[in-house]
A and B are shown apart, each in its own frame.
Chain A
Amino acid sequence: MLHCLGLVLLRSGRREESIQAYRRAYNNYKETVGITYHRFGAVCGKIAEYHTSLNQFEAAEYAYETPVYNPRLANINYSHFFDEAYKAYTSHLHPHYLPELARHHFIQGESLERRGDHAAAQASRAKAQELYNKIAPQTYAAVLGLDVLNALVAPWVW
């Protein structure tokens, strides 16, 4: 319900109240259904989008998870919320959540672009495009956008 309220308030233009509802939904999901539930991933995505919109890349709640240098991850600044979303969408035996995963890679690409990491942003958007082509091979989107990806997922993810 709090998840739903977050979306309703967001779409009503009440962004600060919306993020409060999403934070409460985040805590509720964590304490009830757990962190592998796909809608927990959706809430993580919404919180990540909020911080991206404010350029809060280094906010405590949006902390980088690469405190120790790792060459393999040098160009990938996975944030806490993006990482949690990714885990929620990929921790199942069946690939039910590929549309959510495509959207996840897209918004992460937007975030990486906004913070100036163009190479990582391009890689993330390429993953989104690859998944989109797999999910919707009968359609064609030259430039992926949130509207195209939102059409593939339930409103809870919007």
Chain B
Amino acid sequence: MDGKPLYELGLKICSESPQYMLDTRADIVFNLANVASETNNFPGTLEYVKEHLDLRLRLDEGKLLPSADTGIAYSSLGLGLLLTGNYEEAVRQCDISIEIYSQQPDTLDGSFYPTFPHIHRAMALTGAGRPQDAEQGLLGIIQWREAQYGPDDTESFK
């Protein structure tokens, strides 16, 4: 079962009232980016993640701080860039993502750890030939997960 046609139908519906459905459109584009990345469509991934970030930034207009959704949009842009071989720029986008997450209440109180930005950053650093710089962020994830779920958890595949 391929979910892509359903997402594309969702985008079509959103396009009929673009000014009122920005958040729904952003969610759908994010999912399409994930479909593209999981199915080896790397140029398609990059297109979707760029659109996703653009939508999240528009939704953030007027807010004091960027949202967690914008944090994941920068991380996803990092993914799109690393999948298309632009590793150093991918690292920069993941750093922005991590910075945004560091200001979120659930990150500050320790109930959340931004896993994907660190994973994407580590992959980008490896692609850039600097894998030794990637370990620290990953160890942070391990420590947080062990504290939350115990060693060798199967809470999720993350």
- Listed in ascending order, the chain A residues whose CB lies under 8 Å from chain B are 1, 4-5, 7-9, 11-12, 24, 27-29, 31-33, 37-38, 93-94, 96-97, 99, 153-156, 158
Residues of A within 8 A of B141 (CB): 1
Instruction: Please indicate the chain B residues that have their CB under 8 angstroms from the CB of A37 in the complex.
Output: 157
Closest to B118 in A: A1
Partner-A contacts on B (CB < 8 A): 2, 37-40, 42, 82-83, 115, 118-119, 122-123, 125-127, 131-132, 134-135, 138, 141-142, 145, 152-154, 156-158
B33 to chain A, nearest CB (A): 14
Of the A-B pairs whose beta carbons lie under 8 Å apart in the complex, a sample of 5, sorted by A's number, is A8-B138, A24-B152, A28-B152, A32-B156, A96-B40
A99 nearest CB across to chain B (Å): 6
Contact check, A4 vs B154: say whether CB atoms are below 8 A apart.
no
A interface majority secondary structure:
helix
Given contacts A4-B119, A96-B40, contact A11 B131 (CB under 8 A): yes
Closest to B82 in A: A155
The residue among B40, B82, B115, B157 with the most chain A CB atoms within 10 A of its own CB is B157
- Return the contact of A4 from the options B2, B132, B138 (Cβ within 8 A): B138
A11 to B126, CA, bound (A): 7
Question: How far apart are the CA atoms of A33 and B82 in the complex, in Å?
Answer: 23
Asked if B126 contacts A8 (CB within 8 A), the reply is yes
Taking a contact as CB atoms under 8 Å apart, the answer to whether A7 and B157 are in contact is no
Known contacts A4-B123, A28-B154, A155-B126; is-contact A99 B138 (Cβ 8 Å): no
Contact A94 B2 (CB under 8 A): yes
